[in-house]
């Protein structure tokens, strides 16, 4: 009997020697592999916490930073970031959601940009000024009229041709500018057109249908009427198209020449209390109305 007990004890000792030693300081099991034993994590083992990226702490998203600088909207900024147009501290950034610190140097297409307070300036544009930032031919630009309006760099929203007068908005808010110039938002633009002759009732009716073909493309006309109290050569026309010189082209298609063209309403704003060639900042109520478009 003692012999059987000793034999059993011997087998147990030999078995224990062949078993791998378990590290009491770590959880998990062992999986025998050729060349040794490899630790296999236990299902109860907690995964290591995600590494905190310094960039995720504070700051402002790069697309918003670019938009606040007046370059473009956030959506457009995402496309341009992915294309490699943005650099932070000398490094090209293509990562969506990348955050920028106020101390960072940010460049867009090689140009240094900065987030600025959003500004909104409304100009009553006079004749003989072109809607551009500068002109290589030395012609007068609308920027000369608003250069004292704000220290931030502002840009015209849309265009008015050289001989067209009236309301023109300037801002460094890229997202709002994009919204105001996109036809799908139906931003109201009312023009007073002075024609070279009386505007026939039959032609008025053609425009009143709401659709009109100009250069093979449809133009949607929201409203058209004679200007009250004036001759039949004075016509008010409301559209939301942003095509270049579109009002002049509408009348030209019907055989009329526009002698004078004045934009009297833009996105609900009027020229009230703004003399020709002068500007003013938007009121809080006007800004709230724009943001609701």
pTM, whole model, 2 decimals?
A: 0.65
Longest dimension (CA), the chain: 132
Q: Are residues 280 and 148 in the same domain?
A: yes
Secondary structure E strands in the chain = 29-33, 36-40, 60-61, 86-88, 91-92, 99-100, 106-108, 111-113, 120-125, 155-156, 164-171, 189-195, 211-214, 217-226, 234-239, 258-266, 269-270, 279-281
CATH code at position 65? 3.10.290.10
CATH code at position 281? 3.30.70.580
134 assigned to active site: no
In this prediction, residue 143 carries a pLDDT of: 96
% helix, strand, coil for the chain, step of 5: 25, 30, 45
Instruction: Kindly state whether residue 71 falls inside one of the protein's structural domains.
Output: yes
Number of domains in the chain: 3
In this prediction, residue 30 carries a pLDDT of: 41
Q: Are residues 84 and 194 in the same domain?
A: no
Instruction: Kindly state whether residue 139 falls inside one of the protein's structural domains.
Output: yes
Contacts (Cβ under 8 Å, ≥6 apart) of 178 = 72, 73, 75, 76
Tens digits of pLDDT across the chain (293 residues): 444 554 555 555 554 544 444 444 444 444 444 444 444 444 434 444 433 334 555 688 999 888 877 788 888 999 999 999 999 999 999 998 999 987 888 998 888 887 778 899 999 999 999 999 888 899 999 999 999 999 888 999 989 999 999 999 999 888 889 889 887 888 989 999 999 999 999 999 999 998 899 999 999 899 999 999 999 999 999 998 878 899 999 999 999 999 999 999 999 999 988 999 999 999 999 999 998 88
Q: Are residues 108 and 120 in the same domain?
A: no
Q: Are residues 168 and 230 in the same domain?
A: no
CATH code at position 215? 3.30.2350.10
Q: Are residues 199 and 252 in the same domain?
A: yes
Instruction: Kindly state whether residue 72 falls inside one of the protein's structural domains.
Output: yes
CA distance 83 to 217: 33
Instruction: Kindly state whether residue 27 falls inside one of the protein's structural domains.
Output: no
Range of the domain at 202: 188-266
Tokens 């496309």 found at: 79
Q: Are residues 158 and 289 in the same domain?
A: yes
- Is residue 99 within 8 Å of 58, Cβ to Cβ? yes
Active-site option among 109, 161, 196, 223: 161
> CA of 12: how far to CAs of 15, 32, 111, in Å?
5, 21, 78
Q: Are residues 88 and 73 in the same domain?
A: yes
């Amino acid at each position: 009997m003692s012999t059987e007990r000793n034999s059993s004890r011997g087998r147990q000792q030999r078995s224990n020697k062949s078993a791998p030693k378990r590290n009491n300081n770590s959880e998990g099991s062992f999986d025998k592999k050729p060349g040794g034993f490899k630790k296999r994590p236990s299902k109860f083992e907690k995964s290591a916490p995600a590494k905190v990226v310094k960039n995720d702490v504070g700051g402002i998203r790069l697309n918003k930073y670019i938009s606040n600088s007046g370059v473009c909207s956030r959506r457009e900024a995402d496309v341009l970031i992915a294309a490699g147009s943005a650099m932070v501290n000398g490094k090209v950034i293509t990562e969506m959601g990348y955050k920028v610190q106020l101390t960072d140097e940010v460049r867009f297409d090689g140009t240094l940009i900065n987030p600025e307070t959003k500004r909104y300036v409304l100009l009553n544009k006079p004749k003989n000024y072109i809607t551009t930032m500068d002109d290589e031919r030395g012609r007068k630009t609308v920027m000369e009229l608003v250069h004292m309006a704000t220290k931030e760099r502002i840009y015209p929203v849309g265009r008015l041709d050289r001989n067209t007068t009236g309301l023109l908005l300037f801002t460094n808010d890229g997202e709002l500018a994009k919204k105001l110039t996109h036809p799908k938002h139906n931003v109201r633009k009312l023009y007073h057109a002075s024609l070279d002759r009386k505007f026939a009732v039959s032609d008025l009716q053609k425009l009143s249908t709401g659709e009109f073909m100009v250069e093979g493309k449809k133009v949607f006309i929201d409203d058209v009427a004679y200007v009250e109290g004036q001759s039949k050569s004075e016509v008010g026309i409301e559209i939301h198209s942003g095509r270049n010189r579109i009002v002049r082209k509408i009348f030209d298609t019907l055989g009329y020449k526009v002698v004078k063209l004045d934009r009297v309403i833009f996105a609900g704003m009027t020229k009230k209390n703004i003399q020709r060639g002068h500007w003013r900042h938007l009121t809080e109520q006007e800004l709230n109305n724009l943001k609701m478009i």
